[in-house]
Amino acid sequence: MNSSPETCNNNIMKRILLAACLLMTVACNSKTSTAMQTTTEPVFGLGVPVSDNFTGEAWLRTLSAEPGYDCQIYNVTFAPSTRNYWHRHAVGQILLCTEGIGFYQEQGAPARRLIPGDVVNIPAGTIHWHGAAPDSRFTHIGITPEASRNQVEWLGEVTDEEYNRATE
């Protein structure tokens, strides 16, 4: 059977998306009974603390970074009021919300409230931030497609004023 590179890449992406859907199913059926209840550990654990490009406390756990897939999958947990800095991805990003209440905001647009089960498809080059609500921990699975060429450009802190206005 003769498979083109495009067919192989499509099959890999299908497998990655299937795995992501399965992860969402597991996460949505975890021990938390409501979006606000965040006393249990996230389904993939907290991971390691990260502070660069974040305001507040956040944790990162790499779930998959297989070079052959050219895709990174990771779990990020934000303490209440924690958010990352304004940034953009050269190719784009996908967020699968798994726990708590969060927000996503594109520059110049109103913020979007996020709950478990929400999916955010972030187009290439879109300046944005995401993080937890003021009163809730928030966890998402992030997917970085085409990781070898999908650089992140960090653009500066989301100010308290910007955050408070977005989360009102």
Residue among 9, 131, 135 nearest 70 (CA): 9
3-class SS of residue 167: coil
User: For 102, what's the count of Cα atoms within 13 Å in the CB-facing half-sphere?
Assistant: 33
Distance CA 30, CA 63 (A): 17
β-strand pairing of 112-114 with 86-89: unpaired
- What's residue 36's pLDDT? 43
Q: Please state the separation of Cα 151 from the chain's center in Å.
A: 15
Torsion angles phi and psi, residue 109, rounded to 5: -125, 160
Residue 100 is which amino acid?
G
The tens-digit pLDDT sequence of the chain (168 residues) is 455 556 555 655 555 554 554 444 444 444 443 444 445 777 888 899 999 999 999 999 999 999 899 999 999 999 999 999 999 999 999 999 999 999 999 999 999 999 999 999 999 999 999 999 999 999 999 999 999 999 999 999 999 999 999 999
pTM of the model: 0.78
Q: In sequence order, which residues have a C-beta less than 8 Å from that of residue 104 and are 6 or more positions away?
A: 95, 111, 112, 114, 120, 122, 128, 129, 130
- What's residue 130's pLDDT? 98
- What's residue 38's pLDDT? 47
3-class SS of residue 119: strand
Torsion angles phi and psi, residue 59, rounded to 5: -135, 145
- What's residue 35's pLDDT? 42
